[in-house]
Amino acid sequence: MINESVRNKITEVTFHGTARLDPRLKLLMLIILGCVSFFINGDVPSLLLMTAVTVFVAAGSDPKWGIKMLIIYILISYLNICLKYIYIPVISLMISMFGVTVLKAMPIVTLGRWVLKSTYMDELTVALERAGMPLTVIIPFVVMFRYIPTLGIEYKLIRNTMKIRGVSDSFIKILLHPFATFEYILIPLLMRCLKVSDELAASGTTRGMERTNKRYALQEVRFGFIEYLILAFVLIFVAGLFVLEKTPAGHFVIWRLG
């Protein structure tokens, strides 16, 4: 009896649904989606792509992020179209470029952040190792994914300290001393980075990261039937998007004024 509850506690996970897929599948989807997003240009296929990503993310126990991104996407699409009617010489160019880049990047960013959040690092290591990648590639990759959120936190901490000390805290000060500001942010960030890496290395070595034996994971990491099914589904969906783009439905402009 006690064994049962202990076993339940250990195998308990916070993520459900699609988050439990094999990490390799998630990475593959991210890559496919990245390429696709930059080739699809019609309004309808792009919106479909974004909605599909939102549905996927929502099924993976993170609906708020998905829906938030979808709303921002729709807002920016609309704004982009409004811009075609108001023409201010230089700013229009900048904003339209910015808007287009943001729109293209949205599905990737949505899926990417969700993949980062929902994948356990040890599962990722095991999955990559089973895919046959050498250790020299797996470790930097996993460290990078794990480190980017930490970077954000460190950056906020550094900015807070700068504000307390009155260093480059207002916009004017940043404009007047751009390079100094950059130096004051980057150097502490790099020093923190070194410290964090040392601690990570110590912790990793303790966990046997450098061993070249075969690895196992507590949760099942398997590229099984469901993974193949979803992969097939994704490929069909992508093919469908391309076909849709050729048909008149692809050129249908959703975002219209009046």
Partner 1 sequence: MKNKKLVGKDLILIGALTAVMFVIYMIISIAMSFAGPVTNVFYPPVVSVFNGIVMMLLLAKVPKLGVLSIAGTIQGLLSFLLGAFWTVGTGLIVGAILADFLIIGFKDISTKKMIAAYSVYSGIFTFGAIAPMNIFRDAFMALTLKNGISQEYVDGLIKMTEWPMLTVIIIAGFVGGFLGGLLGLKILKKHFVKAGLVQA
* Binding positions for partner 1, 130-149, rule CB under 8 A: 135-137, 139-144, 147-148
CA separation, residue 39 to residues 45, 69, 141 (Å): 10, 20, 26
**Which residue of 24, 28, 30, 129 would you call a contact of partner 1, by CB under 8 A?**
30
CA separation, residue 70 to residues 99, 144, 250 (Å): 15, 27, 20
Using CB under 8 A as the binding rule, whether residue 104 contacts partner 1 is answered as yes
End-to-end CA distance of the chain: 67
Residue 228 to residue 235: CA distance in whole angstroms: 11
Using CB under 8 A as the binding rule, whether residue 116 contacts partner 1 is answered as no
Binding mask 40-79 for partner 1 (x = CB under 8 A): -x--------------------------------------
**Which residue of 52, 59, 72, 105 would you call a contact of partner 1, by CB under 8 A?**
105
Cβ-contact 8, 214 below 8 angstroms:
no
Give 71 or 186: the residue with its C-beta nearer to partner 1: 186
Give 13 or 148: the residue with its C-beta nearer to partner 1: 148
**Which residue of 16, 198, 218, 243 would you call a contact of partner 1, by CB under 8 A?**
198
Q: Token pair for residue 179?
A: 């390079």
User: Minimum Å distance from CB 216 to partner 1?
Assistant: 19
CA separation, residue 256 to residues 43, 103, 104, 248 (Å): 11, 17, 19, 17
Give 189 or 226: the residue with its C-beta nearer to partner 1: 189
Residue 56 to residue 227: CA distance in whole angstroms: 14
Give 174 or 191: the residue with its C-beta nearer to partner 1: 191
User: Minimum Å distance from CB 94 to partner 1?
Assistant: 6
Using CB under 8 A as the binding rule, whether residue 100 contacts partner 1 is answered as yes
* Binding positions for partner 1, 155-184, rule CB under 8 A: 182-183
Cβ-contact 96, 82 below 8 angstroms:
no
Number of residues that bind partner 1 (CB under 8 A): 49
Give 16 or 165: the residue with its C-beta nearer to partner 1: 165
**Which residue of 6, 71, 187, 249 would you call a contact of partner 1, by CB under 8 A?**
187
Cβ-contact 24, 131 below 8 angstroms:
yes
Place of tokens 């929502």: 58
Site residues, partner 1 (CB under 8 A):
30-31, 34-35, 37-38, 41, 80, 90, 93-94, 96-98, 100-101, 104-105, 108, 135-137, 139-144, 147-148, 151, 182-183, 186-187, 189-191, 193-194, 196-198, 200-201, 204-205, 209-210
